[in-house]
Structure 1
Amino acid sequence: MVIDIIGAGIGGLTTAIALNQKGISTRIFEQTKKIKPVGAGIILANNAMQVYEKLGLRKEIEEQGNSISSMSITKANLSPLSKVDLSFFEKKYQVKNIAIHRAALQQILLNNLPKNTIYLNHHLTKIESNNLGNVLTFANGIKTQSSVLIGADGLQSVVRQNLFPDYKLRNAKQICWRGITTYTLPHKYRHELNEAWGKNSRFGFVQIAKNKVYWYALKSFKHDKNEFAKQHIETYFEAYSPVIKDIIFATDKEQLHTAEIADLPPIHTWYQENTCLIGDAAHAMTPNMGQGACQAIEDAYILSNYLDTYEVHTAFKEFQRVRLPKAHQVVKASWILGKIAHASHPIVRGIRNQLLRITPSSFSQKQSEQLFQLPSL
């Protein structure tokens, strides 16, 4: 059996590695003509790193990234509001949370796939079912027969649009900028993720390698994203800490990645016959919990195990049964958190900040436990 995967993102590549390690052949069809070292940073939380430990990739990822032992929410001036100590989970699961350049992670994954696994310049345009599975049509004119298909093609998934055309994305009315810069963080920030919350905006930063900082910034808009231009980003965060302003100043604005934030309201069917969705194609979420890629990595691990254990239809059914509740919980929590973080009224922000301060650490630890625990298979 050969399993076809649409999309050579983190989820698609990880799925292919997991399947190949079980002796299941894969083909990955990727729409870009060349895989380039692009993208910003990525935070691989404990649940994702547990998967990479099982796949034998943990050490390599740790060597190329930076360990993160705590996560902090602060006011715009970086005075603390809430902090989650991750050392408990490091000891429990024997893996660390790692911040890494997305391109570095992508290259590690590519290096662990057999040659000729990826077919570039294959932009999927149509899926037609037949008695052998599906005929896939690509924009380059090529058609190919597929017996089992996995849609790992992200937020704007063509596979999802073919299977479930009625499902629509939800716009958060927030714009996000992501950047990487050469900058020496103060020592106390070098092994933690910090996210500062202001009025209608927030700014997160984390070290991904020595003197390399990945940062992201979000701001709410009323009508459309063109209300804000990346050339003027300093002015949008002028009320923030000098450290944050320095990070922005040190960044080449032409290298910023700009995106409008959207998610996929929870959908309750991820598969149809011999085709299944994973990652953002199935459960796209706003980036407010840093779990988008992590949930796709969990998908890869769970689905590969079930495809190795059951026939295809049962494997898809079990995968959906096990993964859907957790993924939907993260989608919902991420959406709510994004709205809370962007509160504009000063009284609401004051109440929010006070609640963050008085929330016991045991509550945060319990929430993280639910997020980081992988299911028993």
Structure 2
Amino acid sequence: MKEITIIGAGIGGLTTAIALEQKGFKVRLYEKTEQLKPVGAGIILASNAMQVYEKLGLRKTIEQNGYPISKMNITKANLKPLTKVDLSNFEQKHNIKSIAIHRGTLQQILIDSLTSTEIHLNHSLKKVIENANGYSLEFNTKKQSQTSILLGADGINSVVRQNLFPNKRIRHANQICWRGITKYNLPIAFKNELNEAWGESGRFGFVQINKNSVYWYALKTFSSSKNELSLNAIEKYFSTYNPVIKSIIAATKMELINTAEISDLKPTYAWYKKNACLIGDAAHATTPNMGQGACQAVEDAYVLSECLSKYDTMKAFEIYQNLRLPKAHQVVKTSWRIGKMAHLSNPILRGCRNLLLKLTPTTINKKQFKRIFQIPNL
């Protein structure tokens, strides 16, 4: 069986390697970082991702190391609810709980689940050269590697994509996101649920990820330059929010807060070329407004591994793209709209938005999540 090379050892790349191993493929994995250090952030594994991890035999381990979520709420800055999504129906339907977990913990679970794949660290891909036998890969180490099948799981700034699909455009949302994890005892009313508070030109979300820790994220819009927003002023930015939110920020060590600009990939309709294919953020990077970025990469891993086990390479890539592209694009487009709607600055528009959220029937929200949580039956 042909060897498969994956570029990128993030959640998507690691999950794909596990899925391919279980199908009997030999996999090589290259990662640009020198060490796979745990990032100080959490991750929400919704029902679609947890269904995949159930198929891969990892559900129980993930559940034991994370914290279940049964509700997802959008609120005002004072934490008064605007809309709620009860996940219990999906839990019963799929016999799966959504799990909030430390990203580093999930990463280690995935690494420990690999049995034969060697991860080559400190290998930053510089160039992809197509040849008669597949692709020659040039790395920062001056090392060259040959592969017959290439998978790009190297994120929104994918070098694989830049080499093979150079005309794809990254979109900037003009928003800064801060992420942190802190030891904090959440009031019982907020346990087992994700809460996201929408205020003026910003929002704040938090969720418990284990018995003692809370993962949180905060976003603010900038008008002209991301430099106009400072981590040192984060407490001021959210000073009008509920006291629980202010105390979560105060309990977090500033040096452990991760700062990033929010961007996505403008929807593209070509994910593969001959024996090379993109997965995860390399194919469909999304803004983090639906909690589906990593989940969509996990879903990619499952669908692609199933296709490669049943069809020749190019046919597998074609079917994978046909199955995954419509849903991934739906997530990207919807997430972009939510991000803009959440950051309204005009008080009249915010009032109209809040009223609309309150009046939206729960059946509409459930219908949307039903589509997102459904994974292909291959």
Name the TM-score, length of structure 1 as normaliser. Answer: 0.99
In 1: Cα distance, 2:117 partner to 2:58 partner = 21
1:372 aligns with 2:335: no
Q: What is aligned with 2:362?
A: 361
Q: Per-residue deviation at 1:108?
A: 0.3
1:342 alignment partner in structure 2: 343
| SS of the residue 2:40 aligns to | coil
Q: Is the 8 A contact 2:32 2:125 kept in 1?
A: yes
Q: Percent of counterpart pairs with the same letter?
A: 62
CA deviation map 1:245-267 (0-9, x unaligned):
00000000111110000000100
The one-letter amino acid paired with 2:27 is T
Partner residue in 1 for 2:196: 195
Corresponding position of 1:24: 25
Residues 225-304 of structure 1 mapped to structure 2, 5 A cutoff: 225-304=226-305
CA distance, structure 1, for counterparts of residue 301 and residue 110 of structure 2: 13
Asked if 1:306 is matched to 2:307, the reply is yes
User: CA deviation digits over 1:257-313, x for unaligned, max 9?
Assistant: 100000001000000011000000000000000100000000000000000000000
Q: Structure 2 unaligned runs (5+)?
A: none
- Post-superposition offset of 1:165: 1.1
Structure 1 equivalent of residue 15 of structure 2? 14
Equivalent residue number for residue 145 of structure 1: 146
2 CA distance for matches of 1:275 and 1:20? 18
RMSD: 0.7
User: Aligned partners of 2:68 and 2:203: how far apart in 1?
Assistant: 23
Displacement of 1:38 in angstroms is 2.1
Query: 2:99 corresponds to which residue?
Result: 98
State the shift of 1:116 in Å. Answer: 5.3
Q: Structure 2: how far apart are the matches of 1:293 and 1:127? A: 25
* Residues in 2 aligned to 1:81 and 1:168: alpha-carbon distance in whole angstroms: 34
Cα deviation, residue 39, structure 1: 3.4
CA-CA distance at 1:232 after TM superposition: 1.4
Q: Are the counterparts in 1 of residues 40 and 181 from structure 2 also a CA contact under 8 Å?
A: no
1:114, CA displacement in angstroms?
A: 2.0
Unmatched 5+ residue regions in structure 1?
A: none
Name the CA distance, whole Å, in 2 between partners of 1:149 and 1:117.
16
- The alignment partner of 2:176 has SS state of strand
> AA paired with 2:200?
K
Provide the secondary structure at the position in 1 that maps to 2:314: helix
Using the TM superposition, give the Cα deviation of residue 115 of structure 1 relative to its aligned residue in structure 2, in angstroms. Answer: 5.1
Q: Distance in 1 between matches of 2:370 and 2:151?
A: 29
- What does 1:48-197 align with in structure 2 at a 5 Å threshold? 48-114=49-115, 117-197=118-198
Alpha-carbon distance in 2 for matches of 1:361, 1:184? 30
Distance 1:200 1:211 in 2: 30
The CA distance in 1 between the partners of 2:86 and 2:39, in whole Å, is 31
- Partner amino acid, structure 2, of 1:24: F
Per-residue CA deviations over 1:144-203 (Å, capped at 9, x if unaligned) read 111100000001100010011111200000000000000000001110000000000000
1:34 is paired with a residue of what secondary structure?
Answer: coil
CA distance in 2, matches of 1:222, 1:216: 20
Contact 2:21 2:116 in 1 (8 A): no
Q: Which amino acid aligns with 2:348?
A: I
What displacement does 1:211 show? 1.9
CA deviation after TM superposition for structure 1 residue 8, in Å: 0.2
User: Which amino acid is the alignment partner of residue 291 of structure 1?
Assistant: Q
SS in 2 for 1:215: strand
Does 2:302 align with 1:328? no
In the superposition, the TM-score normalised over structure 2's length comes to: 0.99
Q: CA deviation at 1:343?
A: 0.7
CA contact (8 A) 2:29 2:117 kept: no
| CA–CA separation in structure 2 for the residues paired with 1:147 and 1:305 | 18
In the alignment, the residues of structure 2 paired with residue 353 and residue 38 of structure 1 have an alpha-carbon distance, to the nearest angstrom, of: 34
What SS class does the counterpart of residue 196 from structure 1 fall into?
strand
Aligned amino acid, residue 80 of structure 1:
P
User: Residue 42 of structure 1 aligns to a residue in which SS?
Assistant: strand
The 8 Å contact of residues 175 and 221 in structure 2, kept in 1 or not, is answered as: yes
1:365 Cα deviation from its structure 2 partner: 0.6
One-letter code aligned to 1:59: K
2:369 and 2:167 map into 1 onto residues whose CA distance is: 33
Decide whether the 8 Å contact of 2:181 with 2:216 is kept in 1.
yes
Counterpart residue identity of residue 90, structure 1: E
Partner SS state of residue 57, structure 2:
coil
Q: Counterpart of 1:217?
A: 218
Contact 2:26/2:117 (CA < 8 Å) preserved in 1?
A: no
Q: Return the letter of the residue paired with 2:15.
A: T
Question: 221-230 or 176-185, which moves further after superposition?
Answer: 221-230
